[in-house]
Chains A and B, each alone.
Chain A
């Protein structure tokens, strides 16, 4: 990158089922929190980028309602649809372009205000899939899980093991929504079957939550903090719509990761990365992501969970925060992963801290069966 850009501050809400705050109050608190964490004020911001979807916000051009809360009063402001990592990408480009030095990125969803799974139906093709009427995000995910499990001998137990790891990790995360310190494989398998093989505890909870991240150019970052977290690599990729793709693979995640690795100079991800934070909306997606991210060979995802390689004490911890299964404030989920990865690098990950983190990967996604993927590689020696 021709200019180095670093994360210099962040904050997130206590993600939960039905937060007793208006959207604007929730957004205000995380943006204030990120500014406080960076030790700068609203006046220092050059641009503000927010992320959400109008459908989930229940109003069109919804950024007009959160702009003031995010600190955008009389400032350069823009909004990105969907995941917060897409907004971070946009903000990064603005800083790289040299037109702005300090950017605040905010993302949010209050999942309790509507049925988020019903909203997912509106991403379906209106000409065919909606007329047929059998699909929503859960049904599509179940089809994908079945396909992947079939190809590689993955069992329901493997999926349950992912849920057990993430939900018990979430118990140590003060910001997580679904904390289950003592959850067992049996309990996950015994939870409500939503659409076989997907059980309730294998699917992310729909949370109310928000988060904010502040990024700055190298010069400004060094003024602001002694612990900058550098954005070393980024990759974004979208693949075809569910009907036209090999659902048993996360090909776009693979491409996004390859792009980010190249930029960051990563040759052997399993050795070069110290921690990974994923937006796994369903347990099987995490196993598929191990393979797409190159942490193991194709079809070997189940081995990593069997051997505990991706556990908090494993060789390459994945989702020590609990990941999306621990909390899923839809549009904020990817940006929360960025925060969790940055916290690991700065040694601020509280109960989720993994020792000696120099390099971390954060992942965001959107669309049915993880159609769009975004990968950030972060680095630093803060801790």
Chain B
């Protein structure tokens, strides 16, 4: 039991955990299908026979039509940026993503910015989140045409899509 040192005239701080430990999320098999496609440079979406929308990565249900999205469609690996943000420069030891330092693990160079984007791949109706690579932050704009940067060695995992780059 520990007490915080901040001034607390009428309360005390009581240390406590709020950790469930293991949680086994029940995932959809659709994600397996999606990553299996990535290995062959294929972006798989689900197709709703009710409203003809295509969602990438695939999702099982269409809330709009309140039905299962039974169909599949392969969409292009080229698309359009629908929105973006440019991060402040990232320096070593300043940021943790999933418990890791992105500079230390070589994801970004020291002092570099990161540009998260939403991309509407040609043939899809959804926003897919990824990062914009090989681009000058000053050039990025909504409507910018991009294509997938595929990993050198395709594993059939989400990491196969490293990001997108300007066409």
Contacts and interface: CB of A to CB of B under 8 A. Distances in A.
B23 interface: yes
Given A118-B20, A118-B21, A72 B27 contact: no
A126 B15 CA distance: 8
A119 interface: yes
B5 interface: no
A113 interface: yes
Q: Which of B14, B24, B25, B63 has the most CB of A within 10 A?
A: B63
B63 A55 contact: no
A126 B14 contact: yes
A28 B23 contact: no
A112 B24 contact: yes
B134 interface: no
B66 A58 contact: no
A23 B24 CA distance: 12
Contacts of B94: none
A10 to B, nearest CB: 17
A131 B1 contact: yes
A311 interface: no
A114 B28 contact: no
A119 B20 contact: yes
Contacts of B21: 115, 118
Nearest to A127: B14
B158 to A, nearest CB: 18
Interface stretch (A63-71, A187-195, A225-233): A63-71
B152 to A, nearest CB: 33
Contact of A114 (B18, B22, B61): B22
Given A22-B28, A114-B22, A32 B66 contact: yes
B interface bracket (residues with beta carbon within 8 Å of A):
20 to 34
A interface bracket (residues with beta carbon within 8 Å of B):
20 to 34
Interface string A36-73: 00000010000000000001001000000001110111
B60 interface: yes
B66 A42 contact: yes
Interface string A338-362: 0000000000000000000000000
Binding site secondary structure of chain A = helix
A113 B26 contact: yes
Contact of A73 (B18, B26, B63): B63
Contact of B18 (A21, A31, A122): A122
A25 interface: yes
Nearest to A59: B25
A114 B63 contact: no
A110 interface: yes
Contact of A72 (B16, B23, B24, B63): B63
A53 B14 CA distance: 24
Interface string B39-52: 00000000000000
A267 interface: no
Interface string A67-107: 11101111000000000000000000000000000000000
A25 B16 contact: no
A130 interface: yes
A21 B26 contact: yes
Contacts of A55: 20
Interface in B1-45: 1, 14, 16, 18, 20-28
Contacts of B16: 126, 130
Contacts of A110: 26
Contacts of B22: 114-115
B60 A25 contact: yes
Interface in A290-309: none
Nearest to A122: B18
B60 A114 contact: no
A246 interface: no
Contacts of A118: 20-21
A24 interface: yes
Contacts of A22: 26-28, 60
Interface in B31-83: 60-64, 66, 68
Contacts of B28: 22, 25
A130 B19 CA distance: 13
Given A73-B66, A126-B14, A126-B16, A58 B23 contact: yes
A114 B27 contact: no
B61 A113 contact: no
A190 B18 CA distance: 36
Interface in A113-162: 113-115, 118-119, 122, 126-127, 130-131
Contacts of B60: 22, 24-25
A23 B66 CA distance: 15
Q: Across the A-B interface, give the 6 residue pairs with the lowest CB-CB distance, nearest first.
A: A68-B63, A73-B63, A42-B66, A126-B16, A58-B23, A114-B23
Given A25-B60, A69-B63, A114-B24, 12 more contacts: A19-B26, A21-B26, A22-B60, A24-B60, A25-B28, A28-B61, A58-B23, A71-B63, A73-B63, A113-B26, A115-B21, A115-B22
